[in-house]
């Protein structure tokens, strides 16, 4: 090869090209890390009621790393999503020095047992809430179905002036609804909506007229329901 000028020229040109590319890469790497490309503004937007400015500032100062070019948007989004009331986050760059962060908060619909909350999408999340909320309990994968059914059940009960305090789904998928007056409705594992509608149809003519309000109403019977009064007495309708 050493006695072939053409090959030597090709090799030299290739080496020069590689050297130039390496130098260009190093210059670019150094340039994008210069302070002139620092992120000077982090703009947070979205209808937020629970997330505080102090929480946002803490994430900005402790979690965000890099300048306009090197900051990891996925890691930045994950850092904001760790905040208790944050459901979703979008993060994008805006030239020349701004980071735009859009937050979506959880909207609490109910408590999930004693340790968590359920949002309006049927998702379980952990946060502190002081307001009075209905209580959902059951297997974690039932949260979305309970959330959907809760809205339908409330619509059914609205006509008789009752509301829901709690919904429990057992491991065997048997449903129990506790009303705002403490009455417990056993709906079983199927046709829950139809059984609740049956209860609402007869409530004004039967249960609401009883001198001693029923404690438990078992609606799992095909042609009627059983009533357990306070004190253990049981009756059938």
Query: Helix, strand, or coil here: 81?
Result: helix
Instruction: Give me the pLDDT at residue 11, please.
Output: 42
Whether pLDDT at 16 is above 80: no
| DSSP secondary structure of 119-169 | ETTS-EE-----S---EEES-GGGHHHHHHHHHHHHHHHHTTT--EEEEEE
The secondary element (H helix, E strand) that includes residue 77 is: helix 73-81
CA dist., res. 231 & res. 223, Å (int):
25
Domains 35-105 and 108-236 fall in the same CATH topology: no
Instruction: Give me the pLDDT at residue 208, please.
Output: 83
Contact 55, 83 (CB under 8 A): yes
**CATH of the domain spanning 35-105:** 3.10.20.310
Q: Which of 7-11, 130-134, 154-158, 184-188 has the lowest mean pLDDT?
A: 7-11
Domain ranges of the chain: 35-105, 108-236
Average pLDDT, the chain: 85
Taking alpha carbons only, the member of 109, 108, 62, 71 closest to residue 92 is 71
- CATH entry 1.10.10.10 includes domain 108-236: no
8 vs 72: which has the higher pLDDT: 72
Q: How do residues 152-172 score in pLDDT, each as one tens digit?
A: 999 999 999 999 999 999 999
């Amino acid at each position: 090869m050493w006695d072939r000028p053409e090959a030597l020229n090709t090799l030299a040109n290739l080496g020069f090209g590689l050297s130039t590319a390496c130098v260009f890469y190093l210059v670019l790497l150094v340039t994008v890390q210069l302070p002139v490309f620092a992120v000077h503004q982090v703009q947070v937007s979205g209808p937020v009621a629970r997330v505080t400015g102090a929480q946002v500032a803490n994430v900005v100062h402790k979690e965000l790393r890099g300048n306009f070019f090197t900051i990891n948007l996925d890691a930045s989004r994950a850092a904001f999503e760790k905040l208790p009331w944050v459901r979703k986050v979008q993060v994008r760059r805006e030239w020349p020095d701004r980071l735009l962060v859009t937050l979506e908060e959880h909207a609490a619909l109910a408590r999930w047992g004693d340790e968590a909350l359920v949002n309006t999408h049927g998702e379980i999340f952990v946060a502190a809430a002081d307001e009075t909320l209905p209580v959902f309990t059951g297997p974690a994968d039932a949260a979305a179905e309970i959330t959907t059914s809760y809205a339908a059940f409330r619509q059914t009960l609205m006509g008789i002036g009752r509301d829901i305090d709690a919904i429990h789904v057992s491991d065997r998928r048997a449903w129990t609804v506790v009303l705002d007056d403490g009455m417990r409705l056993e709906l079983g594992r199927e046709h829950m909506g139809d059984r609740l509608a049956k209860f609402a149809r007869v409530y004004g003519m039967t249960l609401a007229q009883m001198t001693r309000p029923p404690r438990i109403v078992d609606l799992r019977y095909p042609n009627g329901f059983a009533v357990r009064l306070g004190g253990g007495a049981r009756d059938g309708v």
